[in-house]
Amino acid sequence: MSGKLQPTPEFLEWEANFMPVCVNDLIPYCERRLKPAFWEHIRDGAMDGETNRNNVDVYKKIRIRPRVLRDVSNIDTTVKFFGHTFASPIGLSPTGSVQMCHPEGEKVFARTVAKMNQAYMCSTATTVSLEDVAAEARGVPDYPFAKTAHIPNLFFQLYVFGDKKVTEALVKRAEREGYTAMVVTVDTPRLGRRLTLIRRPGELGKRVWANFETKDSDPTKFANKGGNLGLSSNFSDTLNWDSDIKWLRSITKLPIVLKGIMSGEDAELAIKAGVDGIYVSNHGGRQLDTIPATLEVLPEIARVAKGKIPIMFDGGVRKGTDVFKALALGADYVFIGRPALYGLTWNGEEGIEQVLNWLNEELRLAMVLAGTTSIKDISKAFVRHESEYWKL
Ligand SMILES: Cc1cc2nc3c(=O)[nH]c(=O)nc-3n(C[C@H](O)[C@H](O)[C@H](O)COP(=O)(O)O)c2cc1C
Ligand SMILES: CCCCC(=O)C(=O)O
C-alpha cells in the first residue's frame, strides 16, 4: 500500500473483493478511501450541485443512432490537435490539489499522458510545481519529446491574477518548460460558492500553492495563506476581452485557449479576439450553480465555432458513449476531470492508465457498433435528442 493514505482493516477487507471495470465503479472506492473533506471537495459542485448533476445526467437524453453494414474492421481514434497527433480525443482536465489522492500528485498525470500519448492540462493550483510536472513527462523512458522545445502532451491552465506580474511570471515559466498551449480559465473571477470549502475551510490544507513556493515563484510573493479560498482571492475579477486577452496575446506566442465558454455569443467573441481554441466547460459545476450542462450548450457553440477554431469540452464524461455524444455534437477534444482523480486514488499510475484505457476502449466499441471508423466522421447524424423520437 505504499504511496497511499493509510487504510483501515475494514477497508482492506472490502478492497480485497473490489474489481472495477468502468469509471463509475470507482466512486464507492473513493468514497470509502479518501478523507471525507477531500472526497466531498472532489465530488461536489457549487451550492446544491444542480449543474454538477446535470452534467452527468444530460447524456441520458441523447440517443446514439447506430448505422449498420459499414465495415468497421479498421477503427482510427487518433486526432490532430495543435500540430500533434494524439492517440485519442480524450485528455485530462486541469484539477488542483491532486495530492489529496496520491502523494505524487500531478506528476502521475504527466507520466501517464506522455506514456499513452494523450493530453493533460496542468493546473495553476497544483501540489507539484509546473517545472516538476514537465520534468516528469520528459523523464518517461523513450518519450519522443524528452528533449524538444515543446511537450505536445502538456498544456498549462492559467488562472489570471489581479497582479499582472504574477500572471506573467507563470506564463513565462510555462513557456520555458515547454508547455504547448496556455489554457486560460475565464469562468473564475471568483471561486463559486462551494459549501464544503466554506464548512471546513482548513481541511484541504494548502494544497494549491506549489507553483508559488519554488525558487522561480512570482516576483511579488503574494500572501501564501489559506487553501483554495486564499489563492482564489488573488484571481483577477476585472478580467475582460478588451484589455486582458489582448495583453495575454502580447506576452506569449503559445496558442491561447479560453476555458469556461458556455454560450454562442462568447464563442463568437473568442473567435473575434483571435484566440486559438475554446473550451466548453462549467468547471465541473463548481462555479455558478444552475447554469446548463456543458453538453446542452455544445450545439449552439458548434454552430458558430465548428471548423473555425478547435472546440475542447468537459463535464460529466464517464463513459465512451459520453465521449461519442460530445464529439457528435461538436467537440473536437474531450477532457475528464473527476474520473482521473478516481483512477489515481484507486491505483496511482496504473489507475489513471486504466481509466483512459476503459474510455478509449468504450469509445472504440461505440464507434464499431454505431458504424463509424474515424473521429472526424462522428457527426450530428449519429445522435438525436430523446424528444425527437416521440414526434409521431
Ligand atoms: C478537484 C477539482 C479541482 C479542479 N481544479 C481546477 C483548476 O485548478 N483549474 C480549472 O480550470 N479547473 C479545475 N477544475 C475543473 C476541471 O478542469 C473540469 O472542468 C471539470 O472537473 C470537468 O468535469 P468532470 O469532473 O465532470 O469531468 C477542477 C475540478 C475538480 C473536480
Ligand atoms: C483556488 C484553486 C481552485 C481549484 C479549482 O479550480 C477547483 O477546485 O475547481
Interatomic CA distance for residues 326 and 317, integer angstroms:
9
Q: Which of 380, 99, 93 is nearest to 257 (CA)?
A: 93
| Closest ligand (CA of 259) | 1
pLDDT of residue 136: 98
Among 206, 210, 207, 208, CA closest to 129 = 210
> Is residue 2 in some structural domain?
no
Closest atom of ligand 1 to 55 CA is: 26
Name the residue with the closest Cα to ligand 2, atom 3: 228
State which of 39, 184, 191, 237 you would mutate to test the pocket of ligand 2, scoring each by most atoms of that ligand within 8 A of its C-beta.
191
Backbone φ and ψ for 53, nearest 5 degrees, come out as -70, -45
**Is residue 231 lining ligand 2, measured as CB closer than 6 Å?**
yes
Task: Tell me if 157 CB under 6 Å of ligand 1.
Answer: yes
174 CA → ligand 1 middle, Å: 19
How many angstroms separate the alpha carbon of residue 203 from the centre of ligand 2? 15
Give, using CA atoms, the residue closest to atom 5 of ligand 2.
96
Residue 329 lies in a domain: yes
CA 95 from chain centre, in angstroms, equals 7
Is residue 372 in contact with ligand 2, taking CB distance under 6 Å?
A: no
Nearest bound ligand to the CA of residue 157: 1
Instruction: State the ligand closest to the CA atom of 194.
Output: 2
**Domain for residue 3, yes or no?**
no
Domain count, the chain: 1
Query: Each residue's pLDDT tens digit in the chain (392 positions)?
Result: 334 567 899 999 999 999 999 999 999 999 999 999 999 999 999 999 999 999 999 999 999 999 999 999 999 999 999 999 999 999 999 999 999 999 999 999 999 999 999 999 999 999 999 999 999 999 999 999 999 999 999 999 999 999 999 999 999 999 999 999 999 999 999 999 999 989 988 888 888 889 988 776 655 566 566 788 889 999 999 999 999 999 999 999 999 999 999 999 999 999 999 999 999 999 999 999 999 999 999 999 999 999 999 999 999 999 999 999 999 999 999 999 999 999 999 999 999 999 999 999 999 999 999 999 999 999 999 999 999 998 87
Would residue 21 count as lying in a domain? yes
Centre of ligand 2 to C-alpha 287, Å, is 9
Which positions are annotated as active-site residues? 283
Q: What is the pLDDT of residue 221?
A: 63
For atom 2 of ligand 2, the residue with the nearest CA is: 228
Q: Can you give the pLDDT at residue 216? A: 66
According to the model, what pLDDT value does residue 206 have? 80
Q: With contact defined as beta carbons under 8 Å apart, do 136 and 110 qualify?
A: yes
Q: What is the CATH number of the domain that holds 84?
A: 3.20.20.70
Closest C-alpha to 157, from 231, 260, 227: 260
Distances (CA, A) of 160 to 163, 165, 169, 171: 8, 10, 11, 10
| pLDDT of res. 155 | 98
What is d(CA 210, CA 103) in angstroms, rounded to the nearest whole number?
13
The C-alpha cell of 136 is what?
Answer: 516528469
Could you tell me which of 105, 253, 114 has the C-alpha nearest to residue 182? 253
- pLDDT given for residue 223 in this prediction: 58
In a domain, 29, yes or no: yes
Which helix (H) or strand (E) segment holds residue 134: the answer is helix 130-138
Residue 358 resides in a domain: yes
Residue pair 212/218 in contact by the 8 Å Cβ criterion: yes
Residue 310 beta carbon below 6 angstroms from any ligand 1 atom: no
Residue 4 belongs to some domain of the structure: no
Do β-strands 333-336 and 120-122 pair in parallel, antiparallel, or remain unpaired?
unpaired
The pick from 23, 283, 297, 319 for probing ligand 1's pocket by mutation, whose C-beta has the most ligand atoms within 8 angstroms, reads: 283
The C-alpha atoms of residue 296 and residue 329 are separated, in whole angstroms, by: 9
Residue owning grid cell 472526424: 376
| Among the listed residues 333, 22, 31, the one whose alpha carbon sits nearest the alpha carbon of residue 155 | 333
**Cell 473575434 found at:** 272
Please report the atom of ligand 1 found closest to the CA of residue 94.
17
CA of 353 to the centre of ligand 2 (A): 24
Closest-CA residue to 58 (of 297, 372, 243, 277): 297
217 lines ligand 1 (CB under 6 A): no
**Number of the ligand closest to the Cα of 42:** 1
Nearest CA to ligand 2 atom 9: 286
CA of 320 to the centre of ligand 1 (A): 19
The vertex-346 CA angle with 323 and 111, nearest 5°, equals: 70
Sequence-distant contacts of 300-308: CB under 8 A, at least 24 apart: 300/263, 300/264, 301/261, 301/263, 301/264, 301/267, 301/330, 302/329, 302/330, 302/331, 303/264, 304/264, 304/267, 304/268, 304/271, 305/267, 305/268, 305/270, 305/271, 305/278, 305/330, 306/330, 308/271
Structural domain including 230 reads 9-390
Spatial distance between the Cα atoms of 105 and 271, rounded to a whole number of angstroms = 35
For ligand 1, is residue 316 a contact (CB within 6 Å)? Answer: yes
